[in-house]
Structure 1
Amino acid sequence: MLHHLEQDAAELKMLLSDTQEFLARASPNIDAADTVSTSIDFKNSYATATRVYGTLNELLGQIRDQLAQKPPLTREEALAKIQSMWKIRKARKQLKALVREVYSSFEDPTTGQTYYYNKYTKETQWTKPTILGHEGLSDPSSRTQKVKVVFASKEEEELFAASKLQAMARSHIARRHMRKLISSIYEKIWDVDSQRFYYHNTKSNEVKWEKPRWVSDEDLLTPRTRFGHLQAEQEKAKAQKARTEPLTPQTAACMIQHAYRHKKGFQNLLKMCREVYVRIYDPEQGLYYYYNTHTKETAWEKPLLLRGVESDVFTPRTQQKKAREENLTPEKAAQMVQRAFRRKRGFQNLLRLCRSVYERIYDPEQDMYYYHNTRTKETTWDKPLLLRGAESDVFTPRTRQKKLQELVSTVNGTISSKLRQWTEEEAATRLQGLYRAKKAKEELNLMLAQRFKKAFDPSSGQVYYVNILTQDVSWDPPALALRGGVQIETFED
C-alpha cells in the first residue's frame, strides 16, 4: 500500500508540473482573436484544467498526510484512502482526455518523425506530452471492442456464466458494503438558508455540499435519525447477548422484579404529574391549556410525560372526582348510589310536572308550534328549558288529556293494589322510602325558602319574587314553592 501511495505521489507531482506548464502557456492567449476554429470550447477546457490542477494539489496534500500515517489502518481510514486513490485515477484520466482534445499528432515528411501540435496555443513540439506516458493521442478505450467468446462445450459455457454471475454478485455485495461503510461515516444536515442538504464526515469533521459517491440521499441519515439507529443497534446487541446467556432462577427473578418496579415507578410518576397539572379550557382561544398547581405556570403544550392516551391531564372537576373515587368507602358508595337514584327520580317527577303544566299548540298562520302554560295562561314560542329533549317533549292538548286519563287510571289501579298484604320487609322498605321522600321534600322547601325572597314594588303596588342566586325577578311565585306551600319571606330593609 505504501509503495503504491509513493508511486501515486510521484505521478501527481509530474501531473502538477505538466498542468502548471500548460496553464502558463495557455493563459496569455485566452482572448486571442486568431484562435483556430475547432469544435473545442477552449474557455471551458481552460476552466476544467484549472479545476483539475486544484484537485490534484488537494489530492497530493491528502497523499502526503496518508503517507505520514502508520499502519495498521482502521476500516474507515482504509475507506478514505481508497476514495482518494480513486479520485486520483479519475483526475488522471480526465487530464489525459483533456490533453488528447488539445493536441494533434502529425508526421514530418522530411524526417519521418512525429510532432505534436497544440490547437489552442498553435505551438508544435517533438516530444509527446508527458501526461500520456506510453499511451498515444488516440483514446485507447475507443479501440476496445468486445470479443465474442467461443466455447468448446456446453459445460465450459455454463462454468463461464457461473463465474460471471458470481463476479456480479460479489460486485453487488461489495457496493452494498461500501454504501454501508460510507453511510456509517457521513450524515446529511439540512441548511435552512440554502434550502438543501450538506454532508458531514463524522470522522474528519469535514463538511461539503457534494454528496459522497456510491450513496443516495435515502442511504444517508440525519444526525437525530442516525443517533436513534445507533441506540437501537446497541440495544439489539445487548438483547442478543442477553439471549445467548442462559438465565439462572435468581437472574430471572431479578429481571421480573426490575420490570415490575419499573412499571410501578412509572405509574407513580404519572400519578404525581396528574396531581400537579390541571387542564383548563380557554373559551376565547377554543383550546385547553395546562396549569402547574405548584409553580403556578401555564403552557399550551401538554407535559411530556402525560402525552399518552392513558395518561391524560384531568380538568379540576375530574381531579376532584378521581380523588373521591380513590377515597370511596362502601358506605359512601351506597350513599352516592342512593343520591343518584333519588336525583333521577326527582328529575323524572319534575319533567312529569312540567308536562302536566305545558301543552303544545299548532299555529296554522305561522306554521309553527307555540307553548301554553295552563297555570299562568302564558304562551311562548320557545320550548321550556326543562323539556328541550327527545324524551321530554311537550304534548298537544289532545295527547295531554289522554296522558292525564292514563295517569288517573294508573293511580286508581295503584290504590286498589295497595290493599294487598305487605310483608315486614316490604313494609319496612316502603316506610323508609316515604321517610326519605318526606325528608327530601323538607330539604327542597328549605332550599326554596332560602333562595327566593319577595319584595314590594311601590310603583305598581304588586309583589315580585327575587332569585338571590341568579338575581332574576318574576311576578309569579316559583311553581315548586307554590306547590309545596312554602312561605317565602320578604326582603328586610
Structure 2
Amino acid sequence: MTSVPCTYPGWPECFGNPLERTTHATDTIKRPPNPPVIKPSLQDHTHSIRILRGRPNISTEQVDYLIQPPQCAFQVTCKRAIATRKCFDCIKFDAQRSGHYCDACFQVRHPKTRLEHKWTYLRDEVDSKAEWIQHIIHHNGEQECLELGDVLDLTRSIITVAANASNEPLEVRVNQAMDDIESIDAGVRRLKGHVNHSLRTQNLTRADAAKKIQDAWKLFKARKLFRQLIRSVYERLEDPVTGKVYYNKRTETTQWSKPLGLGSEDYVPVKRIIKTAHLTLEHAARYIQRTFRSRQARAKIRALIHRVYRKVRDPATGLYYYYNKQTGAVSWTKPKLLGSDDIYADDEKPPKQKSKTKQKPLTPEVAVIRIQRMYRCAAARKELRALISRVYIKIWDASRGQFYFYNTVTQVVTWAKPKWVDESELMSPRAHQEFIAREEDTLRRQKLEAIRNSSSDEAAQFLQRLVRRRLARRKLQKMLADIYEAILDPTTGQYFYHNKKTGDVSWSKPTLLERNALG
C-alpha cells in the first residue's frame, strides 16, 4: 500500500506530513532523567556522599608496620621508644641492620663534636597530592616564563622595525609606539625576573616550615616580652628645654636617647574591656523580629527547593541523586540551602511529624536537672570522640588520592570515616604513636610520683602486691606449661600449640606462656 499524504486546511508545507510526526500516548509521559555518570573511585571528602567501594588493598608490609611500628634499635637513653630517624652510617653497628633512632638517642650518639652522618627522617605517609600540586605550579611557572620570553622576542623585533621607520611621515606616532613598546618590554622583563625567582625558590618541607613558624612566633613573643620589660624599667620625663628625657627607675640614671626596644613615643597601655551587650527594649524587640524573619525566610527557601528539586534513586548503584526540574541538571550532592533538611524520594516514607503541644513552664528544679543532663550529654560526646580518635588513625592512599581509616584494636581498614568524629580530629600513624608514647610516659611518671610521695605503709602494701603478682604469674605460667604443648609442623616449619585437656590447637601462643617453659 502506498501512503497517501494527509493534508489539513491551512497546514504549512514546511511542517511536512503530520502523520509522520504523531507519537504514542505513552511517549508523552515524563521519564526520570539519567543519573550522572562519575567514576567509582571519586569521593566527596566532606563525607556527605558515600559511594560503594571495596576494602582498601594494603600490603603485608604496611599491615606489619601498622601493628608493630619501628622502634629504636640502640636504646641508649630510651627503652623501646618509637623510631623517628634512620642513620645510614650507623647501620653497621646495628645487629638488625636497621639504623633506627629515636630523637633522644640520636642526639646522644651524634653530638656536634662528631663527624656528620648521613641520616633521614622516617616518613610514615607521603602527601602525593601536595607534591603533584607543587609539580603543576612549577610546570605552569616554566610555561609562563617561556611565553614571556616569546613576548620579549616579539617586542624586540617590533622595536627594530620601528627604529628603522623613523624617517617616515608618521614619526611622532612611531616614537609614541616605541615608548609604549619599551615600557611593555620593561614590564615583561620584570615579570620574567619574578618568575625565575619563584622557580629558583624551593618549597620547604613540613618540618622546616613548622620550625620556621615556631621560630617566628618565639621571636615575636620575645620582642613583646622585651618591650614590656623595657617599659616597666624606663619612665619618660619632660625636660623644659628639650621636652623629653628618659629615666631608669632601677639604676636611677637619666639619658637623652630613647632606649632600644622601647617602641612608639605615644605608647599607652591599653586595658582590655569585656563588652557586654546591654540592649534596650526597642533593640531587643528588633533583634527578636530579625531572628524570627530570618527563620521564616529559611523555611520559605526550603519550601521552594522542595518544589524545584526531586530526589531519584539510581538503580545501578542504589544511591540517590538530585534532579532540578527547571534546569534539568543532576547532582549527587544535596542543595546547600536545605541545611539539615532533606528531600524524600518516591520510595521513601517521610517521618511522622510530632504533634506540637504547648509546653508548660519548667520549675527551677526541673530546669536545673535538664541543664545538667544536657551538660553531661555534651561531656559524654566529647569523651566518645576522644576515645574514637585514640582507636582510629587515618592513612593517605597515594593511588586513590584520599585517606583510609585503620582500627588499631580490630586491625580492620575501611574507606568509611568513623561516626561522631571529623577527619581533622583523627591522627596520622606517626602522630598517633607519639601521642600514645606521651600518654604512657605521663602515666609512668604519675605512678612514680605516687610511689615517691607515698608513706611507709603504702610503700609496703605496694611491694606486697608486686611480689604477690609475680608469684601468681609464675604459678599461672607453670599451670599453662602443664596443659599446653608445642608441636612442630613439618610442612610450614612453625610451632602450633595443643591443649591436652580440651584437644584444641592454635597457631597463636597463649598469653603469659613462655616458649622455654614447653621444653
State the structure with bigger RCO (CA 8 A, min sep 6), 1 or 2: 2
| Higher share in helix | 1
TM-score by length of 1: 0.24
> Normalising by the residue count of structure 2, what TM-score does the alignment of the two structures yield?
0.23
Q: Which protein shows a greater Rg?
A: 1
